[in-house]
Amino acid sequence: MAVILDGKAVSAKIRVQLKTEVEQLKQQGIVPGLAVVIVGDDQASQTYVRNKEKGCEEIGIHSEKYALPAETTQDELLLLVDKLNKKADIDGVLVQLPLPEHIDEKAVIEAISPKKDVDAFHAANVGKIMIGDYQFLPCTPAGIMELIKETGIEIAGKECVVVGRSNIVGKPMAMLLLHQNGTVTICHSRTKNLAEVTRRADILVAAVGKANFVTADMVKQGAVVIDVGMNRNENGKLCGDVDFAAVEPKCSYITPVPGGVGPMTISMLLKNTITSAKNR
């Protein structure tokens, strides 16, 4: 039986620490501030934004929410981003993705000041992660690193396989594992004999966005399995990229969905906002 990596519990522990840091900053007259911009009414995005607001409230970060209608133009959005970049009491600017189709995501991400880019999506911050000299880490990969740390398992010298190559999770995840001296393989839709590659993994990170994509025959006995997926199965039930019921008996550690990587992502966002406030 695998040990369940409880993201809620680990996240709660981190937030206690973050709350103390916020209180110390407030004593110096600095109140960390986060601005979240959401365009349109995507349900999942609404939930994420609510959770981010709750997180800020919990640890004492000042948060501002800008909810814009779906028909907002790209120019209007860029104007708001520019305003938030210049706002002295805001340390972090986050534009919730996905954006409506008529808006160029890349242009919006690049418009956010790298100093306030608490999602770490800006090309300047991505480059810093590549060379290992960074200020902010992308929230999901940073949360995953904390969960792996929780296992007490050393990453150095381990076979690490990341399934998925998105700019948000897959690529930065591979870099962070590499910085910890893991031997890293990135798999994707064109990988031949995928199961053969994933079976080598001591640490397997699944970030493909397909329900129950990773099956038991793809996992090595005793592996650490991290599930980044947030999908709905045919019954509309929330599930991950890993077939939990089948894979769990083979692992040493596994993250559940929900309650695994998700809560960690938001805690890392709060951490980045505090880092930015300290640099203020």
Contact 106, 112 (CB under 8 A): no
| Spatial CA neighbour of 116 closest among 23, 223, 35 | 35
Annotated binding site: 164-166
Which neighbouring-strand residues pair with 13?
Answer: none
Q: Compute the distance between CA of residue 229 and CA of residue 206 in angstroms, rounded to an integer.
A: 7
Contacts of residue 133, Cβ cutoff 8 Å, sequence gap at least 6: none
Neighbours of 193 (CB within 10 A): 9
The crossing angle, in degrees rounded to 10, of helices 7-27 and 43-59 is 50
Give dist(CA 108, CA 195) in Å, integer.
37
**How far is C-alpha 117 from the chain's CA centre?**
13
Q: For residues 216 and 250, is the Cβ–Cβ distance under 8 A?
A: yes
- 69: alpha, beta or left? (left if phi > 0; alpha if psi -120 to 50): beta
The number of beta carbons lying within 10 Å of the beta carbon of residue 132 is 10
Residues marked as catalytic = 52, 96, 119
List, in order, residues 6 or more apart from 32 with CB less than 8 Å away.
22, 25, 61, 62, 91, 92, 273, 274, 276, 277
Extract the annotated binding site for NADP(+): 164-166
Instruction: Give the bridge partners for 193, in sequence order.
Output: none
